[in-house]
Amino acid sequence: MPTLPDLSPADLPPPRRSFIAAALGVLAAGLSWPAVSLAAPRRASPPLQLAREAPEHIDPAGFLVSEKLDGVRAAWDGERLRFRSGLPVMAPRWFTARLPALPLDGELWLGRGRFDVLSGTVRRAAALDPDWQGVRYVVFDLRDEDGRLGPFARRVERVREAVAAAGFAPLQAAEQRTLADRAALKRWLDEVVRAGGEGLMLHRADARWRAGRSDALLKLKPEHDAEAVVVAHVAGQGRHTGRLGALHVRTAAGVEFLLGTGLTDAERERPPAVGTVVTYTHRGLTASGVPRFASFLRVRDPLRS
């Protein structure tokens, strides 16, 4: 039996005394220590509503529409701020102390096009106060697992009231608009995208809260066409072994990336040759200029305008 260190529980900080005292008692009695985990329990992921892709030419009637923020999803339960994974957000105490005792659902946000900086700030193991000065918690809903808060339109009003009562600048309510028709929806989408935003979110005003994906919550993001030159072929793996996995392409701006989505089996068997100009779709650019969600569309047709 190993020799115990020459310590008594009184030599230890208070939080550890009861555990060490129990351990010493067990060992002294010649008993085996029960198999227990000393790791801190992982908090379960908070139940959240998730969006589906909006169908083309969707009619916004019956929806409340807000901007889709390029932020980090965060849920507040009245005590703790957590990521979608369930892990805690290590926000400064001054940031969380003014949040209301309500089950808030929203995004931590620094502004359009600043996701990389935001992500680096909020995912640190210890909050750096200066970096949090510009972070906002933009709330778009209240989690309502027992269904007492009513439809989305009513929950939006509760969010606005809570934000106004808090009087705390970093806490904001997402702007929700009622749009008259498809033309109005397209105008706002174009305006948001031109300003560097990602797109729009449409939430049925009469929808009750429900965790998971449903047609009550939709995301609308534009797709852009662009061109690039094939500079290399990347071999496939798994079910694509022995044929093309992705095209290594370069844009006119000199940005290189892999284009592996959208290719048919026939195109993987006989891929566009190196030097070919191809057209792809994407949904905006990252801060470094790489297309988001790029998908192969076709080999460029020289007659297409």
Rounded CA-CA distance 271/290 in Å is 22
Query: C-alpha dihedral over 167, 91, 75, 58, to 10 degrees?
Result: 80
Q: For 239, list phi and psi in degrees, rounded to 5.
A: -70, -15
3-class DSSP state of 197: coil
Active-site residue numbers?
68
CB 288 within 8 A of CB 266: no
Spatial neighbors of 82 by CB under 8 A, at least 6 apart, are 43, 46, 74, 75, 76, 88, 89
Instruction: Tell me whether residue 224 is exposed, middle or buried, using C-beta atoms within 10 angstroms of its C-beta: 0 to 12, 13 to 18, 19 or more.
Output: middle
Tell me the residue ranges of DSSP E strands in 71-126.
72-76, 81-83, 104-109
Residue 165 neighbours by CB distance under 10 Å: 9
For residue 24 the two structure tokens come to: 């010493």
Gyration radius of the chain's alpha carbons: 26
Residue 59 neighbours by CB distance under 10 Å: 12
Residue 119 neighbours by CB distance under 10 Å: 15
